[in-house]
Structure 1
């Protein structure tokens, strides 16, 4: 991470961190002579990680974040975070809270408190919220200040947060690979939905881990558009903006198959169309068509084809 602030100057700190986050009030509640601040950040496309510490008792009151969301985790010390008229919570080491793009809030820092934050774009969060709740997105997503919903949720969030930090601090491949950055960003947003309390008025959340039709349709669209290209479960999940495991569960629930099973059926249909169109053409072979549609094992291809169409592919070609 790159250090942007290391200062005892209140005005300098306010100006730099306001530009990094959003305009905010910064007040020293203790002895002004004890004030100090450290702020550093780094990231890759989609995610910014930062570290922040104040040396004196300090009150921060930012304007709503608007274009992004912050997941904050205390490293040491304590803060009292409040949303005027709504909630208030004291947060200690290892605990998290979420500041969504829409709320105003205040954070009362104890002397020497330090935290890290993971920042996600609002668009990414709203798409992930729609997927998690099973509705067409994007969806305005708000979060309570209650932190992770369970011990298991805390472990899950700690795992994805650690992966993000390793990519940033270790200058991993996500910093230079848009594909890796996209996968990791989508996974982070999806895990956030399942580990912290999402509040969305007028929408009934499904049980944790469920993924509804929008994610399935996105994966289906990719399978149909790129059936002639190498596609993995990870590719389909990335297009659906959910984890591979969640996508498999969604396909089982909604279409009674697996993502790769659906892809295979699309490819079988395309191979059948091509064999039918080439009927009587001596220059076309079953092997050529099978390989073109991703079937490298001719025996398996013939078996799949026989079960679906009631005859071997060679008969379709010769008929």
Structure 2
């Protein structure tokens, strides 16, 4: 699946109208409607992400009131400094902890010296991840309240946000598609767990716990038996699930299929054999590849180059 192109929006201004234009790059239907003292106004934003996941850090200096009609995303707002009084669909609240906005909801807030971390999760992306995690293709995503289910889950969401933010803002990792997909999944799962979903919550928690156990058992079995001619059916049997459920388990927890995970573990083992091999003693790329379940040299070379940046023949010689 192709991921949207990443973007970065870094901006600072002392002009409320210019600040509105910048804010609307993040929230299309947002507006700072009242600024108590325009001369004291400062606005700063730093946003990283794409249509599936964007993270923002925003600061409003001064007393500011504003509106937002949420549209194509689920947004979590986490105040880090200042004070905030808000209403979501006319339901009032104050937020020292993160709170959630859903598509179609109207937000009004009044703040003083407010700094926030924000996460926007695309509705389609979050819905698909929810259906995969809970194994229910008919699931219609919705949350019953804007507050986290507990202080512990609020802390869990905040910790996940910090990890994801550090990954997306690190130049060494921000452009790696696999890592971007992984952090999207991490923050999506944290949001699904931290905020109260509508429907049968106990059944969903049981599903998540069972899948976590199956994933752990499957991974342990793969690493222990990787040198043996095991199949996905063997892995599923060991984990106590069907092969179809095994695929769902790995997509939910690793973002890949169990077959791809098994190939990755075997590729890592083959790479280590290439590093330790001695071509003068007759060791060959073909023999090592075949030993680890890669019978076609061209396919093995392509996969090795994708994983390690060099062809296997280079690793064998060096």
TM-score, normalised to structure 1, is 0.61
**In structure 2, C-alpha distance between the alignment counterparts of 1:137 and 1:130, rounded to whole Å:** 7
Residue 311 of structure 2 corresponds to none
What is the CA deviation profile of residues 211-241 of structure 1, one whole-angstrom value per residue up to 9, with x for unaligned ones? 499999xxx9xxxxxx69xx9x9xx778854
2:76 to 71, 77, 99: 71
1:77 and 1:113 in contact (8 A); partners too: yes
TM-aligned CA deviation for residue 72 of structure 1: 1.3
TM-aligned CA deviation for residue 114 of structure 1: 0.3
1:88 and 1:145 in contact (8 A); partners too: no
- Gaps in structure 1 of 5+ consecutive residues: 221-226, 248-258, 265-286, 295-319
**In structure 2, C-alpha distance between the alignment counterparts of 1:6 and 1:198, rounded to whole Å:** 36
Residue 188 of structure 1 corresponds to 187
1:81 and 1:108 in contact (8 A); partners too: yes
1:81 and 1:106 in contact (8 A); partners too: yes
**In structure 1, C-alpha distance between the alignment counterparts of 2:177 and 2:249, rounded to whole Å:** 14
Q: How does 1:44-83 map to 2 (within 5 A)?
A: 46-65=52-71, 67-83=72-88
Number of corresponding residues: 238
Task: Indicate the RMSD between aligned Cα atoms, in angstroms.
Answer: 4.2
What is the CA deviation profile of residues 82-122 of structure 1, one whole-angstrom value per residue up to 9, with x for unaligned ones? 1124x221012xx111112231211221x211001122211
TM-aligned CA deviation for residue 10 of structure 1: 1.4
Q: How does 1:1-319 map to 2 (within 5 A)?
A: 4-43=10-49, 46-65=52-71, 67-85=72-90, 87-92=91-96, 95-109=97-111, 111-137=112-138, 139-142=140-143, 144-147=145-148, 149-173=149-173, 175-199=174-198, 206-208=203-205, 210-211=207-208, 240-243=250-253
SS in 2 for 1:70: strand
1:127 and 1:138 in contact (8 A); partners too: no
**In structure 2, C-alpha distance between the alignment counterparts of 1:186 and 1:140, rounded to whole Å:** 16
The 1:123/1:101 distance shift into structure 2, 3 A limit, reads: same
- Gaps in structure 2 of 5+ consecutive residues: 1-6, 219-230, 240-245, 264-286, 295-318
2:68 and 2:106 in contact (8 A); partners too: yes
TM-aligned CA deviation for residue 207 of structure 1: 4.5
- Say which one has the larger Rg: 1
1:132 and 1:209 in contact (8 A); partners too: no
TM-aligned CA deviation for residue 78 of structure 1: 1.8
TM-aligned CA deviation for residue 154 of structure 1: 2.6
**In structure 1, C-alpha distance between the alignment counterparts of 2:119 and 2:128, rounded to whole Å:** 17
What is the CA deviation profile of residues 246-300 of structure 1, one whole-angstrom value per residue up to 9, with x for unaligned ones? x9xxxxxxxxxxx79xx89xxxxxxxxxxxxxxxxxxxxxx99x95758xxxxxx
1:77 and 1:114 in contact (8 A); partners too: yes
1:74 and 1:91 in contact (8 A); partners too: yes
Residue 252 of structure 1 corresponds to none
After superposing on structure 2, the runs of 4+ consecutive aligned residues of structure 1 that deviate more than 4 Å are 212-216, 236-240, 290-294
TM-aligned CA deviation for residue 194 of structure 1: 1.0
